[in-house]
A and B are shown apart, each in its own frame.
Chain A
Amino acid sequence: MSDIFPKWTNRLPVWLIIGAVLVTGVSVAGVTYYFTNKYTNVGYQPVQPVPFSHTIHSGQLGIDCRYCHNGVEKSWYSNVPASSTCMNCHNQVLKDDPKLTLVRNSYSNNVPIAWTQIHKTPDYVYFNHSVHVNRGVSCVHCHGQVNKMDEVRHDKPLSMSFCLDCHRNPAEKIRPPEQVYNLDWKAPPGFAQRDGAKFVHDWKVNASQNCSACHR
């Protein structure tokens, strides 16, 4: 009697199992790697209408972040400056430079410059800038070293787990108020355990993990 199934079919179940494990493994790895803000958002660097360089203004000239983003300590959002703020200096500095034509036109015609927003939390997230910067959380934690970026790019994932990492252990990221806008500041060893924990206690930092802290 001839074989209904040839001999190689004996190994078929093993092959199927190995194949399924491989396909599943590779798919899971792919989803884990790609279906996250670490892939989708980090590295987003749109071309802006005016080639403004934070490296020059913040890094080299040492202008404080709040010269332009002056609402950050009072408001839930950190404002992009009006063209009048640019013109405080650029009415004299590079005052005929073609790169600044858009700024001059915006200033004289009272029409804002259409900057492209890079850091965009979902609309159901209510992130408040002022409570963070006023309690020793630096710009650098969420925006990276902007003072070293010629063109600003999305540097941190800003995903929910990114927020929670800090909210679960705020002492790790908190710094003295006078260093909040110093993006080059590095905490000395042991700072988080000693001073960070003290700040959290003294300033009554309530890094809530309640849903309604951010979602309303």
Chain B
Amino acid sequence: MRYFVLGLTLVSALVVSVLGFRGDISRKPPLEIFSDMDRQPKLRPQEPNALLPNGLSSQLLVDGTVARGTPFAATPKNTGRVSGVTNFVENLPLKVTPQLLSRGRDRYAISCLPCHGAQGDGNGITKKIGAMAVVASLHDSRIVKLPDGELFYVISEGRNLMGGYKANVTIEDRWAIVAYLRALQRSRLAFEDELSAAERAQLK
């Protein structure tokens, strides 16, 4: 009996020492003990695919085509340009609503804030850690004077060192960001008739 209990303890100790404990870090993929139909010969997004030569399950677009459901018409909303010409539209082609502005603030915080900063002055994280030398201040008169369509275009395609965000931010969201950006810029601008008499005197 004594030997039996000793043997059982030894076996248990051996199992524990080989298998370890729950939550131990493992570099090897998980064991699938009853792997019934866990892995099926179908493709999930972004999985490797042995079927096609480039090994992708989500294929790249063929040149000159668009994915189903993607807006492609050359309308001001899709391109930021006046239909038929290359001029940028002056004003947002969407109706500006409180919802659009708050959506814009939300999206700005996700995609723009890391570099341009919460206030749009170019003092984002990348500037603070000294990782980027030049980040445009969105309050620059150069940028304030750009038409809405051009801001949309720059968000979509990028400019100078900034990359384009058309793959990451939807068309509606890009316009929402433009709308919010206008509100941000307005926070540091004033019309002359909004000033008090004393302030107006200082101007001159």
B-chain residues with CB within 8 Å of residue A47 when the two chains form the complex: 27
A44 touching B161, Cβ below 8 Å = no
Nearest B residue to A79 by beta-carbon distance?
B46
Nearest B residue to A62 by beta-carbon distance?
B125
Question: Would you give the shortest CB distance from B89 to chain A, in whole angstroms?
Answer: 25
Nearest A residue to B33 by beta-carbon distance?
A35
B12 touching A26, Cβ below 8 Å = yes
Question: Would you give the shortest CB distance from B161 to chain A, in whole angstroms?
Answer: 6
Task: Say what secondary structure dominates the interface of chain B.
Answer: loop
Q: Taking the complex as formed, is A84 at the interface, i.e. its CB lies under 8 A from any CB of chain B?
A: yes
Question: Would you give the shortest CB distance from B68 to chain A, in whole angstroms?
Answer: 15
A-chain residues with CB within 8 Å of residue B44 when the two chains form the complex: 77, 123
B23 touching A79, Cβ below 8 Å = no
Given the complex of chains A and B, what is the CA–CA distance between A142 and B48 in angstroms? 24
Given the complex of chains A and B, what is the CA–CA distance between A44 and B45 in angstroms? 21
Given the complex of chains A and B, what is the CA–CA distance between A92 and B131 in angstroms? 7
Q: Taking the complex as formed, is A49 at the interface, i.e. its CB lies under 8 A from any CB of chain B?
A: no
A89 touching B114, Cβ below 8 Å = yes
- Which of B35-43, B145-153, B180-188, B189-197 contacts its partner? B35-43
Total A-B pairs, Cβ < 8 A: 111
A-B contact pairs, 26 of them (CB 8 A): A19-B4, A26-B8, A26-B12, A34-B19, A43-B25, A47-B27, A61-B114, A61-B125, A64-B110, A66-B110, A67-B110, A70-B110, A70-B168, A79-B46, A85-B168, A88-B165, A89-B126, A91-B161, A92-B131, A92-B132, A93-B131, A110-B60, A111-B54, A114-B48, A117-B47, A122-B39
Q: Taking the complex as formed, is B98 at the interface, i.e. its CB lies under 8 A from any CB of chain A?
A: no
Q: Taking the complex as formed, is A176 at the interface, i.e. its CB lies under 8 A from any CB of chain B?
A: no
A15 touching B29, Cβ below 8 Å = no
Residue numbers of B with Cβ under 8 A of A are 1, 4-5, 8, 12, 15, 19, 21-33, 37-40, 42, 44-48, 54, 56, 60, 109-111, 114-115, 125-126, 129, 131-133, 161-163, 165, 167-170
Q: Taking the complex as formed, is A124 at the interface, i.e. its CB lies under 8 A from any CB of chain B?
A: yes
> Known contacts A19-B4, A67-B111: does B131 contact A124 (CB below 8 Å)?
no
Interface residues of A in 24-73 (CB under 8 A from B): 26, 30, 33-35, 37-47, 61-64, 66-67, 70
A67-99 contact mask (Cβ, 8 Å, vs B): 1 or 0: 100100010010110101101110111100000
A93 touching B126, Cβ below 8 Å = yes
B-chain residues with CB within 8 Å of residue A111 when the two chains form the complex: 54
B-chain residues with CB within 8 Å of residue A92 when the two chains form the complex: 126, 131-133, 161
Question: Would you give the shortest CB distance from B175 to chain A, in whole angstroms?
Answer: 17
Q: Taking the complex as formed, is A160 at the interface, i.e. its CB lies under 8 A from any CB of chain B?
A: no
CB < 8 Å neighbour of B46 from A37, A80, A124 = A80
B-chain residues with CB within 8 Å of residue A26 when the two chains form the complex: 8, 12
B-chain residues with CB within 8 Å of residue A153 when the two chains form the complex: 25
Q: Taking the complex as formed, is A23 at the interface, i.e. its CB lies under 8 A from any CB of chain B?
A: yes
